[in-house]
Structure 1
Amino acid sequence: MTHQSPNAGESRLDRGKRVLAEIDGEAGHKVIAALQDIAPDFATYILEFPFGDIYSRPGLDLRAREIATIAALTAMGNATPQLKVHIEAGLNVGLTREEVIEIIIQMAVYAGFPAALNGLFAAKEVFAARGLSLGEQG
């Protein structure tokens, strides 16, 4: 998928919805829908700021942004549900299974083996759900 820059006249919310759909597809919509009964304003914040403002910036393509996001969430070590969503997103924007694994292994140097192990097990679940073998794309 190619990165789409902001459209003139497009609201942050509309741009966020468009970019979320491009990156996360169904997984992203599930997160937003799950917030509707408890914190609908927070769902709007997610659409407007990360997706409407940051992900839609022209400086990096979506593939590079997902590499950074997978690395950061792996390094955090406590964001497994979000990591799974972004592994899915990485696959959606062109990362291979092997690239995702290498991103997570690289984090062992900076975040430690427990964080990398947790990340690898999260990736394993995502890959199994997609029926992927080594080197395949989502």
Structure 2
Amino acid sequence: MDNIRYLRGWEKLKEIDGEQGERVIASLSDIAPDFAKLLIEFPFGDIYSRPGLDLKSREIAVVAALTALGNAAPQLKVHIHGALNVGCSRTEVVEVIMQMAVYAGFPAALNGLFAAKEVFADRDAKKNAPEK
């Protein structure tokens, strides 16, 4: 059963977070490979794979939650990429982050907006980079 969860989770991780998610997992291999396995199995294999919400709705919720936390910028950036990968527009990402100013405060929203700005610039740079 665990192998099915892992495989389902790995496919979902790649679908949502792509390269950014794979980098997170790889970065854990030398310090906490068991945690990396849990990260693939539970959030992606069990929760993201549930039928009740589409991936766009799930990523909007994650962007909102990570913004509200105010102390998870690296994870927020990964999930902003994920939101864009599953169909959110940049405008939707910005609006969700701005909405969090009401519930989490202006500092959390500002941090979220700066994270989004970095993600957008990163994606623009990759899009405009000459092919190798």
**2:22 matches 1:29:** yes
Q: How many residues align?
A: 125
Q: TM-score of the superposition, structure 2-length normalised?
A: 0.92
- Which has the larger helix fraction? 2
* Ranges in structure 1 where 5+ consecutive residues have no aligned partner: 1-9, 133-138
Quick one: which of 65, 89, 95 aligns to 2:58?
65
Note the C-alpha offset of 1:74: 0.1
**2:49 matches 1:56:** yes
Partner of 1:43 in structure 2?
Answer: 36
**2:101 matches 1:77:** no
Counterparts of 2:94 and 2:112, CA distance in 1: 9
Counterparts of 2:75 and 2:11, CA distance in 1: 19
Counterparts of 1:98 and 1:61, CA distance in 2: 19
Quick one: which of 112, 115, 118 aligns to 1:125?
118
Equivalent position SS for 1:67 = helix
**2:86 matches 1:93:** yes
Moved over 6 A (4+): none
Q: Deviations over 1:28-70 (max 9, x none)?
A: 0000000000000000000000000000000000000000000
Q: TM-score of the superposition, structure 1-length normalised?
A: 0.88
State the Cα RMSD in Å: 1.6
> Which runs of structure 2 are paired with 1:11-22 in the superposition (5 Å)?
11-22=4-15
Equivalent position SS for 2:53 = coil
The residue identity in structure 1 corresponding to 2:80 is I
Identity between Structure 1 and Structure 2 (%): 72
The residue identity in structure 2 corresponding to 1:28 is G
Partner of 2:129 in structure 1?
Answer: none
Q: Deviations over 1:72-113 (max 9, x none)?
A: 000000000000000000000000111100000000000000
The residue identity in structure 2 corresponding to 1:45 is L
